[in-house]
A = this chain, B = another copy of it.
Amino acid sequence: MIKLYTFFRSSAAFRARIALNLKGLAYEPSFVHLRKGEQRSPAYLAVNVEGLVPTLEIDGLTLSQSLAMIEYLDERHPTPPFLPATPAGRARVRSLAEIVACDIHPINNARVLGYLTGTLKCDEGQIGDWYRHWIDLGLAALEARLSREPETGKFCHADAPGLADICLVPQLFNAMRFDKDPLTRRPTLKRIFEACMALEAFDRAQPAKQPDAEP
């Protein structure tokens, strides 16, 4: 049985949920409450010493880091593929995914916002400005590339969802928490977001539909 350590609101866990759903792989969720600090409990650190979610238990392995586990799923279960067939296509899709996974998400995740509030005593306005600063930079880059590059199709790359879409959608959900409408000025992201959310694999993975969801 595949087991996913997850938290409804974690963007990285959301990526893993979408990937498992797209591959048609059933999994047993194990809930790690990030705001209660369960990711730093001895029990969880024994599973994942990095103290982060998600963790994926599969094929007798314990995998950390969402991009690494998504590439693993793609290598072990190649259909439907998350990456194009050519090295050039794969580089494009990975680079789009990394705009989210390296340039936006790490700067805006819960532990960084917690440090800004707790240690640097930033107020709510400063937190909102911080959040929007980084997300605006990253989403502007994504909109520019996706609107101009000819490889963009119904999804980030051609006409089937893949690694870039898997990263993009959770980041847009996250953005909506600090920005009422991050998509109005970004028509290509909006179009791709809607195409993704029309798919059951994405819809079923969204935070509000998880068993551990909170209002």
A residues near B, CB below 8 A? 49-52, 59, 61, 63-65, 67-69, 71-72, 75-76, 87-88, 90-92, 94-95, 98-99, 101-103, 105-107, 112, 115-116, 119-120, 122, 126, 129-130, 133, 137, 141, 144-145, 148
How far, in angstroms, from A61 to B92 measured CA to CA in the complex?
10
CB of A102 within 8 A of CB of B94, answer no
CB of A61 within 8 A of CB of B91, answer yes
CB of B102 within 8 A of CB of A112, answer no
Known A-B contacts A72-B90, A120-B120; the reply to A64 vs B95 at CB < 8 A is yes
Report, nearest first, the 10 A-B pairs whose CB atoms are least far apart: A68-B94, A65-B95, A68-B95, A106-B106, A72-B91, A65-B98, A75-B87, A50-B141, A49-B144, A68-B91
Within the complex, what minimum Cβ distance (angstroms) separates A201 from chain B? 21
How far, in angstroms, from A204 to B58 measured CA to CA in the complex?
40
Within the complex, what minimum Cβ distance (angstroms) separates A163 from chain B? 10
Known: A65-B94, A72-B90, A106-B106. 20 other contacts (CB 8 A): A49-B141, A50-B99, A51-B141, A61-B88, A65-B95, A65-B98, A65-B102, A67-B94, A67-B98, A68-B91, A69-B91, A71-B94, A72-B88, A98-B101, A102-B102, A103-B106, A106-B107, A107-B112, A120-B120, A120-B126
Within the complex, what minimum Cβ distance (angstroms) separates A58 from chain B? 9
How far, in angstroms, from A101 to B50 measured CA to CA in the complex?
14
How many protomers of this protein does the assembly include? 2
Within the complex, what minimum Cβ distance (angstroms) separates A91 from chain B? 4
Within the complex, what minimum Cβ distance (angstroms) separates A212 from chain B? 23
CB of B145 within 8 A of CB of A49, answer yes
CB of A76 within 8 A of CB of B87, answer yes
How far, in angstroms, from A136 to B92 measured CA to CA in the complex?
32
